[in-house]
Amino acid sequence: MKPGRAATFGKSAAQFLVGCVRQTVTVKPHAEPDRGLLEAVKQWQQVFEHNPVMYFMVDPAGTVINVNTFGAAQLGYTAAELIGRSVLDVFFEEDRDFVRACVALCLETVDQSHTWEIRKVRKDGSVLWVRENAKTMLRADGGPIVLVACENITERKEAENALRQSEAYLAQAQELSHTGSFGWRAATGEITWSKETYRIFQCDEGTKPQIPVMLQRIHPEDRLAVQRTTGRAAREGRDYDHEYRLLMADGSIKYVRAVARAMRDSGGRVEFVGSVTDITATKEAERRLRDSEQRFRDYAETASDWFWETGPDHRVTLVSQHSDTITVPAGLIGLTRWDIAPDADLEPEKWRQHRAALDAHIPFRDLVYRSKDRNGTPIYVRTSGKPFFDADGNFLGYRGVCTDVTAAIRADQAEDALRKAQAELAHVTRVTTLGELTASIAHEINQPLAAVIANADACLAWLQRSPPDLKAARRSVEWIIEDGKRASDVIRHVRALAKRTEIEMAPLDASLVIREAVALVQREMASHAVSVRLELSPALPKIYGDRIQLQQVLINLIMNGIEAMDGVHDRPRELTIRSADDGESAILVSVADCGVGISEQAIDRLFTPFFTTKSAGMGMGLSICRSIIETHRGRLSAAPNQSGGATFHITLPLHREEAP
């Protein structure tokens, strides 16, 4: 039965039942039943029981007085299970206040029908949607009774919910895809938009879309083209698909694509159903891609690099068109790389490994070889390549890039020459320093030699005693050995400073390096009345460096400090040398004097070659010192002291095994 017919039938049956009930409840007590009335009651019972509509009779308290068999069965009960129970038991907890209000309304408006839609709960917990038509009538004793006829509308509700859900899914899909839908009746100009279409055009959903409003939103440069496209489609009744720009209220540009399908209504008039998509992001990506491609082409055409391809036999098949500069060798097509390189015979192992990599079809990077430019001038080339294959995996050759690295190679060669020159200069400086320290070195050697002589004389004296004092003689010999080693160490250290050797990097104890350097200048400090205070932190982590070069730096700084204090007579001449861990993977060493200090003008140029504040100086000492420290990946700086004098700071990184 269709829902409309069921509703009508239910309402008519309810009216019939109301009449029958009224006749029944108005029979006088002890009166002889009328045959017609009995027949009516029988008909009422038949209708009540077998009508495919649920019927409930409810008293003012909400108790079920009666329910037809069909109605009880729809809820999964028997009539006996529902009669006497509260009618609220077949409703959801959250809907019961609404049910109470509906019953109360019926009780207040006797003989007036009221209709509502609500959910009921079946015995098994499933949901049943019903449309209820209710009416209160009065019994013979004047008491009210509510008669309710219920139509099952579950299928309709589920269809409505499914439709709403489908519409919600469609709205979400349109929002996620930035695609709205529209309808357009060409004859009347009537337009309908989806929510997403309103968002794309940035129009208020409360306004009805109109052609003048749309045209105003379209970019002026695209407006005429849009009018022509849509106008021709309307006249010819055919589909259209076009792109155009929207000029938004804030001045921004939005790109859209409109696709429409032409149809005809029952009157033969053309109407369109279509979609409009925001393609701004796609257009921006295309623009960026084009810009990127153009940028790459610009780089490729202006770069000094050139691109190449080789075939399966490793012979050059392609060289980039812009590679017509003088640095690119001429006549490359058809040659292999080892045919081009003049050093192929000079470095056979390098080229053997390269050809093995090519035959194995593996990528290679940064192969450097010698070649000649178009004028025959020697150049250096660095190349990298990657194999490429067809769809079936067959090897087709290599693609790669070449770079002229002649300038870099020449710079490296010049840097090597500079390092050798600096090392030579540093050696000359050490020798010069040793010459200045001759008296100090002689003193350091004479002291243990004098001690050796004295202990030898003492040993002879102990042996000439009667009996000989062997214990004392042995002690004198031990002292002779110790002083001999001391003299030997001084000589060995001086020879190391004077010797021209390569840098020997090793883990070093910074405090020990400092003590050895101070030992060589003790005589100089004594002759200039300079005292030294060592504040060396114990158990410092090791540094990594060349002992001789670092001692050269320390001796140079100590000698500068001694000379800076020559003119000081109003305070003690004291040199302070400190070592400490800076807590950041480095060791700090400082040499501080209390001399004449450094002016602000001089401090900026202090480490510049040939700059000196000494009357007889060459200005190379501090420059060489900074070069040595920087070779050790450290820093050398200077600063004036507030109380006079200057402090030189050395920062040296820890040996990697010692670094945290």
Mean pLDDT to the nearest integer, 512-531: 85
- CATH number, position 320: 3.30.450.20
Residues 147 and 168 in one domain: no
CA distance 81 to 219: 72
- 135 CB contacts (<8 Å, ≥6 apart)? 14, 18, 106, 111, 112, 113, 114, 146, 147
| CA dist 368 → 149, 237, 379 (Å) | 97, 69, 10
Mean pLDDT to the nearest integer, 243-249: 93
Residues 515 and 657 in one domain: yes
Copy the structure tokens of residue 594.
Answer: 């209390």
Asked whether residue 605 is domain-assigned, the answer is yes
β-sheet bridge partners, residue 327: none
For the cut 50, the answer to whether the pLDDT of residue 393 exceeds it is: yes
- In single-letter form, the type of residue at position 186 comes to A
Of 233-247, 372-386, 595-609, 635-649, the range with the highest mean pLDDT is 233-247
DSSP state of 654: B
Copy the structure tokens of residue 284.
Answer: 């921006």
- Tell me: the pLDDT tens digits for 481-519? 877 877 776 676 666 665 555 667 889 999 999 998 888
For the cut 70, the answer to whether the pLDDT of residue 25 exceeds it is: no
Residues 229 and 307 in one domain: no
**Order of strands, sheet of 114-121, starting from the edge strand that comes earlier in the sequence:** 64-67, 54-58, 144-152, 127-138, 114-121
Averaged pLDDT of the chain: 81
Asked whether residue 442 is domain-assigned, the answer is no
| pLDDT classification of 232: cutoffs 50, 70, 90 | very high
| pLDDT classification of 77: cutoffs 50, 70, 90 | very high
Residues 181 and 140 in one domain: no
Domain final residue, candidates 121, 152, 183: 152
Domain final residue, candidates 227, 249, 284: 284
Residues 512 and 636 in one domain: yes
Residues 225 and 327 in one domain: no
Residues 534 and 648 in one domain: yes
CA distance 57 to 47: 14
What is the domain range of residue 25?
Answer: 3-152
- Judge whether 106 and 114 are in contact, CB under 8 Å: yes
Torsion angle of the four alpha carbons 632, 635, 636, 640, in this order, in degrees rounded to the nearest 10: -160
For the cut 90, the answer to whether the pLDDT of residue 87 exceeds it is: yes
| Domain tally, the chain | 4
- Judge whether 176 and 195 are in contact, CB under 8 Å: no
- CATH number, position 583: 3.30.565.10
474: helix, coil or strand? Answer: helix
Whether the CA torsion 57, 63, 66, 71 is positive or negative: it is positive
Asked whether residue 630 is domain-assigned, the answer is yes
How far does Cα 511 stand from its chain's mean position?
Answer: 45
| CA dist 359 → 313, 334, 344, 385, 390 (Å) | 9, 18, 17, 13, 17
The pLDDT value given to residue 28:
47
| pLDDT classification of 14: cutoffs 50, 70, 90 | very low
Asked whether residue 609 is domain-assigned, the answer is yes
Copy the structure tokens of residue 647.
Answer: 């402090």
For the cut 70, the answer to whether the pLDDT of residue 24 exceeds it is: no
Q: What are phi and psi of 522, to 5 degrees?
A: -60, -45
Asked whether residue 127 is domain-assigned, the answer is yes
Residues 540 and 647 in one domain: yes
CA distance 381 to 384: 10
β-pairing verdict for 574-581 and 531-536: parallel
β-sheet bridge partners, residue 650: 589, 636
Asked whether residue 382 is domain-assigned, the answer is yes
Residues 120 and 166 in one domain: no
- Tell me: the pLDDT tens digits for 604-645? 767 765 545 554 444 456 777 888 888 889 999 888 888 888
- Judge whether 530 and 566 are in contact, CB under 8 Å: no
In terms of Cβ atoms closer than 10 Å to its own Cβ (0-12, 13-18, 19+), residue 68 is buried
For the cut 80, the answer to whether the pLDDT of residue 370 exceeds it is: yes
CA distance 447 to 438: 14
Q: What is the DSSP string of 15-43?
A: HHHHHHHHHHHTPPTTPPPPHHHHHHHHH
In terms of Cβ atoms closer than 10 Å to its own Cβ (0-12, 13-18, 19+), residue 302 is exposed
CA distance 280 to 247: 12
Residues 562 and 607 in one domain: yes
569: helix, coil or strand? Answer: coil
Asked whether residue 114 is domain-assigned, the answer is yes
Length of the chain in terms of residues written: 660
β-pairing verdict for 127-138 and 144-152: antiparallel
β-sheet bridge partners, residue 378: 372
Domain final residue, candidates 404, 422, 450: 404
Asked whether residue 425 is domain-assigned, the answer is no
Residues 41 and 177 in one domain: no
Mean pLDDT to the nearest integer, 163-184: 75
In terms of Cβ atoms closer than 10 Å to its own Cβ (0-12, 13-18, 19+), residue 24 is middle
Residues 128 and 12 in one domain: yes
For residue 105, give the nearest of 80, 132, 128 by alpha carbon: 132
- Tell me: the pLDDT tens digits for 409-463? 888 877 776 566 556 655 656 565 555 556 556 656 767 787 788 778 888 888 8
633: helix, coil or strand? Answer: coil
